[in-house]
Amino acid sequence: MATWNSRGLRGSALEEYINRTNEKYLENHLALIQKIPTPITPITIDKESRHITLAYFDQKSTVDYIGAVQGIPVCFDAKECHTDTFPLANIHEHQVKFMESFEEQGGIAFFLISYTGREEFYYLQFSVLKKFWERKEQGGRKSFRYEELDPSFILHTKGGLLVPYLDGIQKDLERRD
């Protein structure tokens, strides 16, 4: 069974940036996106700080965020990458299957990747991830390189929005037509 410990706090800055962006989108009536908590069962709790220091996951999580943008169902997962090579091991098969089913139902699924070394946020369309995933499944690379990505999906901070992923969704929709 998978367990969680303090390493689980990786990505918390990215999560905070996304949460603040979600608040701005809600305030402006542009989107309603909620963080999906990962169900855990605590094993060890630090009595002084009352923080969970060891726990196990009750079930596999699907995505980090889900909601609607102007009536369009949206789900996405947030990932951090410290180098220019993103290991596909950071994405799980059940996530890919969930996102595939989500898109089959008319929703938009994607990944937000924080390239920390570049201080960039990237909107990765599910269709692009799926190509990398299928390449891996057929015995190819088990990762993808930054250079393989379309630079037009880099998200630039603007107007108080730290991770303006609606720009990525708009571009994604335009490419689907």
DSSP-assigned letters across all residues of 103-161: HHTT-EEEEEEEETTTTEEEEEEHHHHHHHHHHHHTTS-SEEEGGGS-GGGEE--BTTB
77 is in an annotated binding site: yes
Distance of CA 108 to the CA centre of its chain: 13
70 is in an annotated binding site: no
**Backbone torsions φ then ψ of 40, nearest 5 degrees:** -130, 155
Q: Quote the tokens at residue 102.
A: 């989500």
Separation between Cα atoms, residue 33 and residue 65, nearest integer Å:
6
**149 closest CA partner among 123, 116, 114:** 123
64 is in an annotated binding site: yes
Gyration radius of the chain's alpha carbons: 17
Residue 48 half-sphere exposure toward CB, CA atoms < 13 A: 0
Mark the binding-site residues for Mg(2+), compressed into ranges.
62, 64, 77, 95
Binding site: which residues?
A: 62, 64, 77, 95
